Amino acid sequence: MMAMRFSLTAILLAAVVAGAAAGSHAQTANVVAGRIVSVRCEAHLQKKDKQADAKLNAPRDIALGLSAGDRVQCIGDGYLEVLVFDGTRTVTAKQNPKGFTIPDLPADSTHPKEDAIIAKALVGYGVSGATRGISADSRILWPSEGSAVVPEHFVIRWAPVPQKIILSILSEAKDATVWGPSEVDGTAGSLKSDAISAALAAYKTKPGSPGLVLTLTLGNSSNWEEVHFSLLTGKQEQELNAQLQFWEKHTEDLALRLGRGYSFTQHKLFAEAAEEYDSALNTAPESRYLLEDAIQANRLAGRTSRVNELQMRLASEPQDSNP
């Protein structure tokens, strides 16, 4: 049970690092070892490398990432909850008169192998280079370079252009056509097709199933571009489904969304992850940190209009006074 609890906690903590990958100043730049779950008192945060403390504000500071050595404290009545590697801690003025210090993440040698693997995933989550994502001048918005898709959810998104475009999906290894070429209206900006989903599902059943290439060509010209993506393997899909069942069984509400979002992101299913982070943000709409997570997730999913909407929302927020 302890191994399960640690695994759940570490995965939930990992989600916050996405904000740092987005270049945000508000999320902590250090390794996340704790996360604010709720604030129901006059709460203060003492960063390990700062002299002065800062007041925590609810619900704006829900999901704030904390580093090992940071200290949280309740003044007067009420309580706050913080998630750390071994579970959720409730902090009160009576039980923790000097506050609660965020502990270090466990060393590999002090926990079972599966727990050490989760801890490493926590440290590595959101590291730049995991995917090249979308280049600034790319017309193809989804799938993004290095992403993964599932056939039944597959959709192509591109920056609308006032002319016909030609789309094709090729096998990366043999340069064989999986679907297309097909001429579509460039002003539409997206295409979801049962025929494409069926073609990808059939391709997935073939042994080996190498990566895929989506090409977009403007009319009959030589002006074209491509992105490389993949389908989940049978083993990866089993792993993902096991994780999703775990979240359904052991979590609910915000924790469920964060857990599912993490699992989708780890499998490079960025479109599905974006939906989970958007749902998490709906659960706590005033959280600046969940807003940053949603921006990063939607950026990886190529949802530029949603990213712009969320960035405008972020820009309208008061500047964060926390360290």
If one counts every other C-beta atom within 10 angstroms of the C-beta of residue 46, the result is: 17
SS3 (DSSP) at 193: coil
Query: What does the alpha-carbon distance between residue 111 and residue 113 come to, in Å, rounded to a whole number?
Result: 6
- Binned at pLDDT 50, 70 and 90, residue 137 comes out as low
Of 288 and 219, the structure prediction assigns the larger pLDDT to 288
Highest-confidence segment of 155-164, 207-216, 220-229, 231-240: 155-164
DSSP of 12-49 = HHHTTHHHHHTT-SSS-SS---EEEEEEEEEEEEE-TT
Third-level CATH fold of 151-231: Immunoglobulin-like (2.60.40)
Stretch 111-138: mean pLDDT: 46
- Write down the pLDDT at residue 183: 93
- The domain spans of the chain are 2-129+236-315, 151-231
Q: How many residues does the chain have?
A: 323
Of 135 and 180, the structure prediction assigns the larger pLDDT to 180
Stretch 10-19: mean pLDDT: 45
Q: What is the largest CA-CA distance in the chain?
A: 74
pLDDT in tens, 225-255: 999 999 988 888 888 888 788 777 766 677 7
- Write down the pLDDT at residue 18: 42
